[in-house]
Amino acid sequence: MATDSSPTSTDFHVFDTTLRDGAQREGVSYSVADKLAVARLLDEIGVGYIEGGWPGAMPKDTEFFARARTELPLKHAQLVAFGATRKAGVAVAEDPQVAALLEARTPVVCLVAKSDVRHVREALRTTLEENLAMVADTVAHLVAHGRRVFVDCEHFFDGYAADPDYGVRVLEAAFGAGAEVGVLCDTNGGMLPMTVGRVVADVRARTSGKLGIHCQNDTGCAVANTLAAVEAGVTHVQGTANGYGERAGNADTFVLIANLVTKMGLPVVPAECLPELQRVSHAIAELANIAPDDHQPFVGGSAFAHKAGLHASAIKVSPQLYNHLDPAVVGNDMRILVTEMAGRASVELKGRELGVDLAGQGDAIGRVVDQVKVLEADGWSFEAADASFELLLRAQLPDAPPPLFELESYRVSVEHWGNGLVVSEATVKVHVDGERIIRTAEGNGPVNALDNALREALVDRYPQLAGVALADFKVRILGWKGGTGATTRVLVDTTDGTGEWTTVGVHDNIVEASWHALVDALTYAVRHR
């Protein structure tokens, strides 16, 4: 029996399986170069173990381990190869999959073993005793070759419900053969925290080896289940970056680390690694070609974003009143969202965030609040368009700069030729410092043509616009009015190669909505660049 069920930070394992279990997410396909890049990033957040894949079973994983030996220096983590126990009726020394684990030459091997009597009998089609021998033989063989061995007990919780003793026998076989960790897996992801805590506490009382936990997220409780297991005595947790994984995913490594450190007081990663969580989370999302989840706890862009005016009023007094921790601890920032729900405190705090000093500008703040409420009623939204809001804010100040130009008119045409070619052309007529300027440009669409024509009209007076380009263009239909009539909101992302900013435009006509966003984008570029 274990003498102490309390986890300690000195021997606590954070084990990440993004490159193996996380890669099973629908739509994710890492190249070997991607896998090496993800492993480097995971090492930067201080995880102790990085499971790289299944050598022998997956050619890409075999190549990854071969290249990792010379291309993957790790500061914090140890690399782990994943594989299965020997096959039933096959000598361990003759099993090619076990040989591939040794050929991967990782210091640690993680074996998957059946711990549910139904899976042993119906999936493996072998006896319960042979399965125990498969576990013990494989662990002992790998340990004899100098490997540290962890054992994932697949379907442990479902198996426990059917037979509360057999899973413990699998653990005992693994520990007896030299395994360092026995991992209790909620493979189907169907457990709830109260069940996980109860089962782990029972197993902890019946075994003396180090226990781990691996939770899928099919009930939405993977992180909660993992933390319940830690509370009950496990000292090894498995997760994946951003919760990636098969079906509904896995426990999120970033959320696990943040909770273990900041809520449970377990310094499971080096202190200097914690502020890297958000950066690494977003970088791995880019490598997976998945947009970062703005609402992800701790590291999401909206994790510390406040919208209600009541919140902003309290935050103005003390940010801790509505933040559960300092966002900087995990590398994030607090944001104030200015919407129709905003009050004067929201506008003042948002101005401070954007570098606009509103001290003593009570009248200007009031005008901005009123203007935002009217605009948002018409479909405008500044939550994702900080650049447009900053221009709106500065326009209300006594020293507001004049517009870049005065519009006389613009015209956009789209010509569809018989051969299928579609050509867009835009002409703009503007007045800049008293000079009338007319420019015409083509583009691959009406908005691109309009952007090109306006830029050409302004670039002689504002040369910084030469390095500015449209980066992204998003359209949302806000309200159907019959036929093709609708209010359209456009978001434009613009870049100068070093930074990026977002502007918004709204109108019944999509080109006019785009014009508003484009004008803001170029105005922001001139004012800031």
Structure tokens at 112: 């998957």
Return the DSSP state at 437: E
Asked whether this chain's domains 11-287 and 406-528 adopt the same fold, the reply is no
8 has pLDDT over 60: no
Higher local confidence (pLDDT), 435 or 367? 435
Angle at 178 between CA 73 and CA 163, to 5 degrees: 115
Higher local confidence (pLDDT), 28 or 150? 150
Residue 244 to residues 166, 362, 474, Cα–Cα distance (Å): 30, 47, 26
Return the DSSP state at 410: E
Give the model's pLDDT for residue 48: 96
Give the model's pLDDT for residue 43: 95
Residue 452 to residues 26, 457, 488, Cα–Cα distance (Å): 39, 9, 22
Give the model's pLDDT for residue 54: 94
- Do 245 and 216 form a contact (C-beta atoms < 8 A)? yes
As a whole number of angstroms, the distance between CA 127 and CA 120 comes to 7
498 has pLDDT over 60: yes
Phi-psi region of 236 (alpha: psi -120 to 50; beta: other; left: phi over 0): beta
Query: Which one-letter amino acid corresponds to residue 406?
Result: E
11-287 belongs to CATH 3.40.50.12640: no
What is the percent of the chain with per-residue pLDDT over 70, rounded to a whole number?
89
375 pLDDT band (50/70/90 cuts)? confident
Give the model's pLDDT for residue 2: 34
- How high does pLDDT run on average in the chain? 87
As a whole number of angstroms, the distance between CA 51 and CA 58 comes to 14
Residue 33 to residues 62, 67, 238, 400, 426, Cα–Cα distance (Å): 13, 9, 23, 50, 43
Per-residue model confidence as pLDDT tens digits over 183-229: 999 999 999 999 999 999 999 999 999 999 999 999 999 999 999 99
Give the model's pLDDT for residue 7: 42
Query: Which one-letter amino acid corresponds to residue 200?
Result: V
DSSP 170-204: HHHHHHHHT-SEEEEEETT----HHHHHHHHHHHH
| Residue among 447, 442, 444, 448 nearest 425 (CA) | 442
Per-residue model confidence as pLDDT tens digits over 284-301: 988 888 888 888 988 987
Give the model's pLDDT for residue 10: 53
- Within 10 angstroms of residue 135's Cβ, the number of other Cβ atoms is 28
Label each residue of 306-326 as H, E or C. Answer: ECCHHHHHHHHHCHHHCCCCC
Length of the chain: 529
Per-residue model confidence as pLDDT tens digits over 88-114: 999 999 999 999 999 999 999 999 999
6 has pLDDT over 50: no
510 has pLDDT over 80: yes
Q: How are strands ordered across the β-sheet holding 422-432?
A: 406-416, 422-432, 435-443
| Residue among 272, 233, 274, 228 nearest 251 (CA) | 228
Per-residue model confidence as pLDDT tens digits over 55-88: 988 889 999 999 999 999 999 999 999 999 999 9
404 pLDDT band (50/70/90 cuts)? very high
CATH code of 406-528, in short, is 3.30.160.270
Return the DSSP state at 71: H
Higher local confidence (pLDDT), 480 or 440? 440
Phi and psi at residue 364, to the nearest 5°: -65, -40
- The strand pairing partners of 184, in sequence order, are 153, 213
Query: Which one-letter amino acid corresponds to residue 31?
Result: S
Give the model's pLDDT for residue 344: 60
Give the model's pLDDT for residue 1: 28
Question: Residue ranges of the domains in the chain?
Answer: 11-287, 305-395, 406-528
Q: Per-residue pLDDT averaged across 484-507, rounded?
A: 85
| Residue among 192, 122, 115 nearest 160 (CA) | 115
**Type and span of the H or E element at 415:** strand 406-416
Residue 303 to residues 286, 297, 307, 522, Cα–Cα distance (Å): 19, 6, 12, 30
Per-residue model confidence as pLDDT tens digits over 300-328: 877 777 665 444 444 454 555 567 788 88
Structure tokens at 390: 């900053």
Per-residue model confidence as pLDDT tens digits over 331-350: 877 666 554 445 566 666 67
529 has pLDDT over 70: no
Within 8 A by CB and 6+ apart from 203, the residues are 160, 167, 168, 171, 184, 211
13 has pLDDT over 80: yes
DSSP 463-500: GGGGG-EEEEEEEEEEEE-STT-EEEEEEEEEE-SS-E
Per-residue model confidence as pLDDT tens digits over 216-229: 999 999 999 999 99
Structure tokens at 417: 């030729």
